[in-house]
Structure 1
Amino acid sequence: MDTSTDTAAHRHTIEVMAEHLDNLGHVNNARYLEFFEAGRTRWYRAGGLLDLCGQAHPDACDTVVVNVNCDFLRECHQHEHLVVETRPGRLGGKSFAVEQTLLNGDGEVAARATVTSVLMDLQSRRAIALPRARGQLFPGAG
């Protein structure tokens, strides 16, 4: 059984509802990406990413996804309680990646994703440098 043992990951629980299902009776592939988005958003909040951005860039900024790689490994069904695990991945000057895992109700890995994002200045609509205090979310990056 392929299960996660990552104790450092941020976790977010989601209950599968009828609206998450497709005509095959399992969670639609697009919903997996929504579940991963919910996990990332909570990880950003928990780590204070947007607060750090506001301090470093007084003009408003936000995250923008620029690449998603997702492997769908197992079906998920209605009423299952899924766990989205989010952890830091690669860190660049303007971009960063997070590694995410979706665990099914039995604790098995149902999907894995690597999501690359940038911070975007909302006025110029361009990617901006990550704040120096990014080490809070990316330990060892400084």
Structure 2
Amino acid sequence: MPQPTRIKVRGYHLDLYGHVNNARYLEFLEEARWNMMEEGGQLDWFMQQRLALVISRIDIQYKRPASMGDELLVDSVLSSLAERHGVVTQRIVRADNGKLVAQADVTFAVIHPDQPGAQPMAGEIAERLSNLLEER
């Protein structure tokens, strides 16, 4: 399983109340998904094949605020693969106490610029992504 992505909360992440702005969490989650693909050794292959993982849905739950100077850990695991989409489950916790800040299920599809619609999660695409599936 990939290592958690560590993010330090900076001033530009904050809203008027001194908490991380809700939209910034989406950026934190995206950074962690890129890291998951890089650490899993799959990013280069997808790029060489001109395949892109595109987001179709994000279901995020905000549990508690994060503030200036907090260090956050973002865990990302591929939790499921279906015929034409997958789901990455992500959790953001505070590094100092392990308390849950936010969690999300991110639904994605694989597309190719020369082919219409989502690609089937079959063949080498499925094989490459299956290597990232959460161990149950």
TM-score interval, normalised by the smaller of the two chains = 0.7 to 0.9
Per-residue deviation, residues 95-118 of structure 1 (Å, max 9, x unmatched)? 100110000242100001000001
Stretch deviating more after TM superposition (117-126 or 21-30): 117-126
For the aligned residue pairs, the C-alpha RMSD in angstroms reads 1.9
Distance 1:93 1:54 in 2: 21
1:46: Cα distance to partner? 1.2
Residue matched to 2:20: 27
1:12: Cα distance to partner? 0.4
1:125: Cα distance to partner? 5.3
Residue matched to 1:12: 5
Residue matched to 1:63: 53
The answer on 1:101 being equivalent to 2:91 is: yes
For 2:34, give the aligned amino acid: T
Residue matched to 2:115: 124
TM-score by length of 1: 0.82
Does the 8 Å contact 2:14/2:21 carry over to 1?
A: yes
- Aligned identity (percent) is 28
1:9: Cα distance to partner? 5.7
In structure 2, relative to structure 1, the CA distance for the partners of 1:23 and 1:121 (3 Å cut) is same
How many residues are paired up?
130
Q: For residue 4 of structure 2, give the secondary structure of its aligned residue in structure 1.
A: strand
In structure 2, relative to structure 1, the CA distance for the partners of 1:139 and 1:98 (3 Å cut) is closer
Distance 1:124 1:94 in 2: 14
In structure 2, relative to structure 1, the CA distance for the partners of 1:126 and 1:14 (3 Å cut) is same
